[in-house]
Chains A and B, each alone.
Chain A
Amino acid sequence: MQPALRFKPHDFWRGALWSAYALVLTVAPLIFKSSLALTMLSQIGIAIIACLAFNMLFGQGGMLSFGHAVYSGLGSFFAIHTLRLVSEGAWSLPVSLVPLAGGLAGMGVAVLLGYVTTRKAGTTFAMITLGIGELVWAMSLMFPGFFGGEGGVTGNRVVGQPVWGVSFGPQIQLYYLIALYTFGATALMFAFTRTPLGRMLNAVRDNPERVEFVGYSTQRVRYLAFIASGLFSGIAGGLAALNFEIVTAETVGAARSGAYLLFTFLGGATFFFGPIIGAVLMVVATVLLSDLTKAWLLYLGLGFLFMVMYAPGGVASLVMMNLRVAAYGKLRALWTSYLALAATALVALCGTAAMIEMVYHLQLDAALGNELRFMGTTLNVKALDSWFGAAFVALTGAGLFEVSRRRFAREWGRVQSEIQRLMRQGEGRP
């Protein structure tokens, strides 16, 4: 038998990764100091918890939830009401624990609603979550007393005297509270994947039928995972309530649920850390991209489409596949292809974006004249040469991209089969 304590090289790497994660969370606001950056970092922390919680169901349990904003959103509402009770002096609870109230609420709602949803799996599960999402959305408009109607519910996170100089008034103080929760929640959710329940959840995803023949009730496994996911979603919601100090009905809406799904997928649902990447993308897209262009949702949709078609494992799988290539020292053979792919994609994107922006200008900003600035040039929406130029750039880019994609696919296949040969040699098999 192997000794219980044995130093393994990947223990070291795991420790290093977690330290790096803690370090990034700590120093990020010291590097990006602007108030916009701080706002974004706070939202990223919250989104990380929400996307990881969503992925407990989606990536690890094979449960496609179309209404997961219900749990984070109701967590937000319960948290903001808790905060109000605390400010009024009715309850005495440190503000730093208000997110936990959101977590408990999310968990409680998951206990109630999850009992219904997790009785079924697959498409039926997805449909029920969609229905419950709509139900809660409708309720949010029916009960303005709790949901605050159109205006939402507001609160004030500065309560009483500062403790050790911490009042949570300045955003930076709240950021560190969020970062603390983010790290803790990430660690707990990772730990969950290493437990019997976490592993059986993977088994339920892969083969629910067989799970029933090794002693486990698939319903119970799904239900328990759903409750755990509700807890963490609720914590994310509670943090959002503290962060924005206002909670509106949108937080339980379908758009938010869709965003969790979309960005968790983009980040990569098959790896634990994928949703973290997804969360960063989510905030960058909703804050920065939406500021850059009115057509941001269209670009997002295009990006999502490309991802589904070419890299269904998300950004995380791209990272992991390339790490494997690098580990076998083959990345060198691919970098020219990557350069070609990136350059041609950029050209195609420029051309396409120019046309998209012209269409948007024509439809929405026609009153501002026929000209618009785009990447250092002036385009005229009424001039044929602008349209021809943009189309030419787009088509050329797309054509060259396709050529380099084919070349890349060939090289990639060659590299992969070489790696597989090396792996077989390592295992001592022909």
Chain B
Amino acid sequence: MSRPPAIELRALRRNFGKTEIIRGTDLKVNAGERVAIIGPNGAGKSTLFNLISGRLAPSSGGVLLHGQPIDGRKPYEINRLGLARSFQVSNLFAGLSVFENIRCAVLWPLGYRYAFWKFLSDLRDANERTDEVLRLIGLTKRREVLAANLTYAEQRALEIGITIAGGANVVLLDEPTAGMSRSETTRFVQLIREVTVGKTLLMVEHDMSVVFGLADRVAVLVYGEVIAFDTPDAVRADARVREAYLGVPVAGH
């Protein structure tokens, strides 16, 4: 029997009051695959992320992680099963240093849980892992700076760092390059590629160069429904996708 998909959505629905934002979405992301979700504003991309990561509970339907149902579970329970996510607006521990931000994200996966009988400074594996992540995201020199005092691009890098630090094998990135300059974006695509080697990646992205540079497959979400899910080239050629983007050629978006 083949491995179950890393993420599977089954007839997922979510409404806010009478408004249905996610309307029966089905999606299967294979393990090790990089998938980008694109779609016009208000299509429900962030809501979809919130449903998968446990920030919101679905109104109906199912979310499965490696074949295990996770819908309605708490975010920390889902995280412990190996799913980590980043946020569109940087969601950091503002009053803690860069180093502490990352360390907070490695403690649970390394099994330290709620320990109050161990000193942080003695946790060799946690500190080494933290240093390793800092090197990956290029913030080693800024390790003692408070997260609140970082530049915007550095905060975005830290956001990714916190997300991948725990070693989750399914990573959700919500618009990782939003608000970045062209050169920063190029650097960031490289960074994302490096930190997600061997992992399943699901990301929401508006920047089409990022989407086509990174994704193995692209899912197009319009009004809460996946209208296309295929390779970047096939999606680019899809007539319904072109229509959804109001005639604007996808590549030139």
Contacts and interface: CB of A to CB of B under 8 A. Distances in A.
Interface of A: 1, 4, 191-192, 194-200, 202-203, 205-207, 209-217, 220-221, 224, 228, 427-428
User: At the interface, is chain A mostly helix, strand, loop or mixed?
Assistant: helix
B74 A203 contact: no
Contacts of A427: 141
Interface stretch (B9-17, B61-69, B95-103, B211-219): B95-103
Interface of B: 53-54, 74-76, 79-80, 84-85, 87, 91-96, 100, 103-105, 107-109, 112-121, 123-124, 128, 141, 162, 165-166
B128 to A, nearest CB: 7
A214 B166 contact: yes
Given A196-B113, A215-B80, A216-B107, 14 more contacts: A192-B116, A194-B120, A196-B107, A198-B116, A199-B103, A199-B104, A199-B107, A210-B162, A213-B75, A215-B109, A217-B74, A224-B114, A228-B116, A427-B141
Given A194-B120, A195-B115, A202 B96 contact: yes
A205 B79 CA distance: 20
Given A194-B121, A196-B107, A209 B116 contact: no
A196 B115 contact: yes
Contact of A196 (B53, B74, B120): B120
B112 to A, nearest CB: 4
B114 A220 contact: yes
Contact of A195 (B108, B119, B166): B119
Q: What 4 pairs across the A-B complex have the smallest Cβ distances?
A: A215-B108, A212-B75, A197-B116, A206-B93
24 contacts: A192-B116, A194-B120, A195-B117, A197-B116, A198-B116, A199-B120, A200-B107, A202-B96, A203-B93, A205-B95, A206-B92, A207-B92, A210-B92, A210-B162, A211-B104, A213-B85, A213-B91, A214-B76, A214-B108, A215-B107, A215-B166, A216-B108, A427-B141, A428-B141
A217 B76 contact: yes
Nearest to A223: B114
A55 to B, nearest CB: 15
Contacts of B93: 202-203, 206-207, 210
Contact of B118 (A196, A210, A211, A216): A196
Contact of B123 (A1, A192, A196, A205): A196
A212 B76 contact: yes
Contacts of A212: 54, 74-76, 79
A203 B96 CA distance: 8
Contact of B105 (A198, A206, A214, A228): A214
Question: Which of B75, B118, B119 counts the most A-chain CB atoms under 10 A from its CB?
Answer: B75
A53 to B, nearest CB: 14
B167 to A, nearest CB: 11
A3 to B, nearest CB: 11
Nearest to A428: B141
A195 B116 CA distance: 5
Of the listed residues B108, B109, B124, the one surrounded by the most CB atoms of chain A closer than 10 A to its CB is B108
A419 B208 CA distance: 43
A195 B80 contact: no
Given A194-B120, A202-B93, A213 B115 contact: no
Contacts of B96: 199, 202-203, 206
A70 to B, nearest CB: 23
Contacts of B116: 192, 195-198, 224, 228
Nearest to B117: A195
Nearest to A4: B124
A50 B166 CA distance: 36
Contact of A197 (B109, B115, B124, B141): B115
Which one of B92, B120, B165 has the greatest number of beta carbons of chain A within 10 Å? B120
A196 B111 CA distance: 11
A203 B104 contact: yes
A4 B54 CA distance: 39
B119 A191 contact: yes
Contacts of A202: 93, 95-96, 100
B84 A200 contact: no
B73 to A, nearest CB: 11
Nearest to B126: A196
A199 B115 CA distance: 10
Contacts of B114: 196-197, 200, 216, 220-221, 224
A207 B79 contact: no
Nearest to B91: A210
Query: Most A CB atoms within 10 A — which of B85, B93, B109?
Result: B93
A228 B115 CA distance: 13
Contacts of A194: 119-121
Contacts of B112: 196
Contacts of B74: 212, 217
A194 B117 CA distance: 10
Contacts of B119: 191, 194-195
